[in-house]
Chain A
Amino acid sequence: MNDKMQILKCNNLSKFYSKSSSIFNKQSSRLRAVNKINLELNLKESLGIVGESGCGKSTLAKMLAGLIKPSSGEIEINNRNINDYSNKDLPNHIQYMFQDPISSLNPRKTIYQSLSAPLKYLRKLDERQIDQEIKKIIKEVNLKEEFLNRFPHEFSGGQAQRIGIARVLLSKAKIIILDEPVSALDVSVQSQILNLLNDLQKKFELSYIVISHDLAVIEAICDRVTVMYFGEIAEQAKSKDLFEKPLHPYTSLLLKSVPTINQKIKVSNLIETELPDPLNPPKGCSFNSRCEKRIEKCKNFIPDETIINDRNYKCFNPLNK
């Protein structure tokens, strides 16, 4: 199928931070942020990455966008290694939209100045073309032209996020990483932004990687979902399959924990919620101390990836098998 053209891929991607205790103690410890991640993203697809704080999802996303250098592993964008792109060329292919829309805009520049940067430095347009492009894009994200000469602090969160989207679109990159695109926004504004993202994806044939802690947001805009836990992929599946029939107990715990209107949470208060210590990862499965379906094997062995049809998971004792 032509639709399934792969445009981003990563193999065994890892990131460790070394933490030297003190100058007297030479023994440095390695902090594991992301561990051996394999991912693929197809053209016009949106892939959600979901997980709790500290699971490494933002580190992963920043590596994909070239903002952090990986410790090991490979990233391929359009079948070309990420290291073969120059700093000035990579942003033409992959862009990153930040969580806090206001702090990702320079407080001392007008919106026009901020928006013209990618046109000037990436696409090398002249001033007349820049002007045209900016006026075109600002309509695309439903903002008024008179906003262009204002400064970031004069905008509400929703408006600033539209500006962030406009800037990302101006680079003409086809892969866009959306880091918690709506978590800083008011509830009544969230759905506007999510719809806008969906519309723009169709119109400009974009591929999204959406990072969020909010499963409902992921479900509303993603085709496929990756669940991360403790720097690793716990489960990966088509959005529909994952939400209907989670296989990994962690996915199921996440789904059960979401508070829904008129429905009491069915999670017991007594389950441990602490994440493992990243300086000293557990011997077995990293989720075993919190797992309801734990078996003896889980404490001592790390589960390998199991692939069934088009979904995969890492668990010895999955649900809904």
Chain B
Amino acid sequence: MINFLKLISRNKLALFGGLLIILIFVISFLSPFLPLKDPDITKTSDRYLLPFSEGYFLGTDHLGRDLLSRLLWGTRLSLLVGISAALISATIGSILGTIAGFYGNKTDNIIMRFIDVLMAFPYILLALAIVAVLGPGLFNAMIAVALVNIPFFARNIRGVTVTIANKEFIDAARLSGMNNFQIIIREIFPNILPVIVVTISTTVGWMILETAGLSFLGLGSQPPQADLGSMLGEGRSSLIVHPHTSYIPGAMIFLIVIGVNLFGDGIRDALDPRLSKGELIKPQPVTLIKSKSKISEDRNNFLSVKNLSTAFEFDGKTHLASKNISFNINKGECLGLIGESGSGKSVTALSITCLVASPPGVITDGSINFKGENILEMDYENIRKLRGNKISYIFQDPLSTLHPLIKIGKQLEEAYNEHSASKENEATERGKELLKLVQIPNIDIVWNSYPHELSGGMRQRVSIAMALTNEPELIIADEPTTALDVTVQAQILSLLDELRKKKGLSILFISHDFGVVSQICDRVIVMYGGKIVEEGKAESIMKKPRHHYTSQLMECVPHIGSGKRKLPTIMGSPPSITDKSDIGCLFANRCLNKKNECLTLDVQLTKKGDSEVRCLFPNE
């Protein structure tokens, strides 16, 4: 709760709105206790007095009634009616929406079609019709406004409920023996409550306006009772001669609605976890670079990464995701980057063409030399020319990297046209040629399909084709086979290997799977907790892992042919990005060979056999 208030108060406008609303509430609800004149006493001798007249702070209306008193009493009434209407329609609308969303099928159909019918009428017409049937009066106006707004709540809540009802924890609750009613009350309701609160907070202002509108038309509060709408209605007849009678209630309506809306938006932002973390801030096209050092630049290698550190900034702190990463890739070489989640492998891969989203990502140090040029010193236009051209990416899930609404062929053409100005049919020819290269059968059918119409393996072939469009020299493949079935994985791996040999491609292959990496890579880097812990030839690391992390991890991966058994384990879990311990070995507290020095000494990468290892007591 305190957190919630903090979040709201961080938003200055919401804070202003909140304070305004509280002020209006306090004053108007205190009106029975304030030394005010009776709002309904008429005194025709004092008609139309201007504000600040003696005895009448805000002047009087056409019957000589005190405007200040009428305004406060009226505000109180309008607020009460507006809020009650909001609560009534929220309750009924949410119940209908939850039931429709949870039970689905016929129940859903019947309820939602009824709601659709309600929505088909213009709301004011519907409200008028309801008041016409019930008769004029403030209570009836409130009922009308509430009814008119039920569809809005029902539709919102239904949408949220459908999403939640399909979550696994609902099935889990069913397996815990809960019945439908218990599930709705105990599992679903807590999850839709924030949505209900947000919807109320953003509609209350609207409902106050609608009630005022009905009163203005003479269908709401009846004379002499004052509410904001009826005051406006009475003032209208003398708008030109005595404008203050309309301006005063008008200003109050304005203040209430603006206050409620600002505050409502604030609540919405504070309750939405994505918004409160600032994730909806549009990321920059290039990672923010705060590198201070200009390290000796190695211009001879094909790709040379030196001391690359990438961090994420959140909660006012900088958390390093990868620390001082240095490696080279030669022409035609496949380098494997192995690590578990949080090891910094993907961040490193994305940093190469500055693709880490900023905010929160920042490259804090290092240099990346690609064919003699430091990418980190390039401007955006030049980096853009590299991406998808000389350096291209293949990602884990092709369903989310391919555009769902554009046909495969069109996307391939686009990838080509973006980097090379082409004649009319050139892009099409190139695209089909590539589909053939990645061994897709029925090219013409695939060309005219949407991504969701293809299987996972076919989609990954398409994204490989797309990566190859502009004759890249380096392909960065981030877990390209993790989402695929084993039989498909085997084929994609052999396809990548074939293409590499045919085209002399360099590949940076990122994976968590030693088996996969050993299929395709020449050299391997093992990462742990953002650091390189071991680097060497694939064969020598697979046969003779020097770092205890590598060897223990390889042992505990189940492999086929050993039967049912107790598996070797590594205790604990990998470090998270917020764990900060820069002294000693990061793996020390999980290592079976831990010695005291491991916790206190600084551990550097050192040569051991064919490999480089960051360990004080490596395997012999």
Contacts and interface: CB of A to CB of B under 8 A. Distances in A.
Query: Which interface class (under 10, 10 to 19, 20 to 34, 35 or more) fits B?
Result: 35 or more
B574 A221 contact: no
Interface in A243-289: 243, 253-265, 267-275
A121 B175 CA distance: 10
A258 B176 contact: no
Contacts of B573: 156, 158-159, 186, 188-189
B494 A194 contact: no
Interface stretch (B17-25, B77-85, B364-372, B553-561): B553-561
B182 A121 contact: yes
A53 to B, nearest CB: 6
Interface stretch (A18-26, A27-35, A96-104): A96-104
Contacts of A122: 176-177
Contacts of B518: 259-263
Contact of A91 (B177, B556, B569): B177
B560 A65 contact: no
B172 A167 contact: yes
A318 to B, nearest CB: 19
Contacts of A259: 489-490, 493, 513, 515-516, 518-519
B495 interface: yes
B559 A260 contact: yes
Given A186-B574, A259-B516, A195 B177 contact: no
Given A107-B191, A265-B494, A269-B494, A188 B515 contact: no
Across chains A and B, which 6 residue pairs bring their CB atoms closest together, nearest first?
A: A121-B177, A259-B515, A122-B177, A117-B176, A52-B485, A191-B567
Judged by DSSP, the binding face of B is helix
B537 interface: no
A219 B562 contact: yes
A149 interface: no
Given A91-B175, A103-B167, A267-B490, 18 more contacts: A52-B488, A67-B174, A88-B177, A96-B171, A104-B171, A118-B175, A118-B176, A118-B177, A156-B573, A186-B512, A192-B571, A195-B566, A216-B559, A259-B516, A260-B518, A272-B441, A273-B455, A274-B458
A191 B169 contact: no
Contacts of A271: 487, 491
Contacts of A272: 441
B562 A52 contact: no
Query: Which interface class (under 10, 10 to 19, 20 to 34, 35 or more) fits A?
Result: 35 or more
Contacts of B439: 269-270
Nearest to B498: A269
Interface in B539-558: 539, 542-543, 552-554, 556-558
B197 to A, nearest CB: 13
A95 interface: yes
B528 to A, nearest CB: 10
B524 to A, nearest CB: 11
21 contacts: A52-B488, A95-B175, A100-B168, A103-B168, A103-B169, A104-B171, A114-B172, A117-B178, A167-B172, A188-B570, A191-B558, A191-B567, A192-B570, A257-B489, A257-B490, A259-B519, A260-B518, A265-B490, A267-B490, A272-B441, A273-B488
Given A117-B173, A187-B557, A258-B560, A106 B191 contact: yes
A293 B118 CA distance: 64
Contacts of B554: 261
Nearest to A268: B494
